[in-house]
């Protein structure tokens, strides 16, 4: 199936029937090998076709039984953009995922895997999946452990699934934006946005919205500001050199003071400005 996906081949009918009849035998194969083949399918030019083929062959049920349960779970309700059931939506999101990273593609595939457990239909006809991202994260952890993901792969998968429901609101404060960046990690922001766009397209919505575009601009602006003392343009060595100090708590105290002044926008996070401010500590 992986080779057929990579090369665009069609599997001969009798061969496919044989795979279906013996699908359960895949459980005898080392999980590491299964993960490796799954990643190759996800990394191929046609991951959507590969997942469909896995499902049609009965292998998806063996590899990801939790995902199979998402098919048939309706989402369409008044005021919501979804036009597919959860499983179909997830496959369509994967089809629209622009990332080449198999972890990002896998996160896109299973980001709503907790929806069957959180499904609720209100008397008004509105369907809700409250806290589905939390349940999805727990399932993602189990899958990552079962398929022997590396720690790095697992951590990234969990982050993308856990925070895929991030809020996009023009009224968000800088503090809220910083909290999002801390939760997701600067290194995952681009992938998180990529997943959101795939999620939107996979649900029948437009690729972006003015709110999402505004959010992306805010992310750029807020990231110019320091998030921790280590983000200052000077460090402890600069403090000791400028003030002729020896290593000790005093150095940290001064750096914390500078950091607070930068966060409060009383001071620019530029080396020249910070060194100039340091000189004032000589007379204090």
Residue 110 pLDDT > 80: yes
Architecture in CATH of 229-282: Orthogonal Bundle (1.10)
**What's residue 245's pLDDT?**
93
> DSSP letters along the chain, please?
-HHHHHHT----HHHHHHHHHTGGGGGGS-HHHHHHHHHHHHHSS-HHHHHHHHHHTTHHHHH-HHHHTTTT-----TT----S-HHHHHHHHHHT-----HHHHHHHHHTTTTHHHH-EE-TTS-EE-TTHHHHHHHHHHHHHHHTT--HHHHHHHHHHHHTTT----TT--HHHHHHHHHHH-GGGHHHHHHHHHHHHHHTT--S--HHHHHHHHHHHHHTTS-SSGGGSSS-HHHHHHHHT--SSHHHHHHHHHHHHHHHTTSS-S-HHHHHHHHHHHH--
Q: Where are the domains of the chain?
A: 1-63, 70-222, 229-282
Tell me the per-residue pLDDT of 227-272, one tens digit each, with 9 for 90 and over: 788 889 999 999 999 999 999 999 999 999 999 898 888 999 999 9
Architecture in CATH of 70-222: Orthogonal Bundle (1.10)
**What's residue 283's pLDDT?**
67
pTM, two decimal places: 0.84
Average pLDDT over residues 202-230: 90
Tell me the per-residue pLDDT of 16-52, one tens digit each, with 9 for 90 and over: 999 999 999 999 999 999 999 999 999 999 999 999 9
Q: What average pLDDT does the chain have?
A: 94
């Amino acid at each position: 199936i992986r080779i057929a996906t990579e090369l665009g081949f069609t599997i001969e009918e009798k061969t496919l029937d044989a795979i279906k009849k013996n699908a359960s035998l895949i459980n005898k194969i080392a999980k590491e090998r299964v993960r490796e083949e799954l990643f190759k399918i996800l990394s191929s030019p046609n991951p959507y076709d590969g997942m469909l083929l896995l499902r049609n062959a009965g292998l998806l049920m063996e590899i990801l039984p939790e995902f199979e349960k998402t098919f048939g779970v309706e989402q369409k309700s008044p005021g919501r953009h979804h036009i597919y059931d959860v499983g179909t939506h997830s496959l369509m999101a994967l089809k629209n995922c622009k990332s080449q990273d198999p972890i990002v593609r896998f996160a896109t595939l299973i980001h709503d895997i907790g929806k069957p457990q959180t499904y609720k239909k209100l008397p008004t006809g509105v369907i809700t999946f409250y806290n589905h991202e939390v349940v999805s994260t727990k399932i993602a952890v189990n899958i990552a452990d079962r398929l022997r993901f590396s720690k790095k792969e697992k951590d990234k998968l969990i982050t993308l699934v856990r925070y895929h429901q991030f809020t996009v609101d023009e009224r968000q404060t800088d503090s809220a934006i910083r909290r999002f960046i801390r939760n997701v990690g600067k290194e995952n922001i681009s992938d998180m946005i990529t997943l959101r766009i795939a999620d939107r397209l996979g649900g029948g919505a437009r690729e972006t919205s003015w709110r999402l575009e505004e959010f992306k601009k805010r992310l750029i602006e807020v990231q110019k500001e320091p998030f921790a003392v280590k983000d200052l343009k000077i460090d402890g060595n600069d403090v000791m050199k400028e003030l002729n100090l020896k290593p000790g708590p005093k150095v940290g105290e001064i750096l914390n003071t500078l950091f607070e002044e930068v966060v409060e926008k009383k001071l620019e996070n530029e080396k020249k400005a910070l060194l100039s401010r340091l000189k004032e500590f000589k007379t204090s």
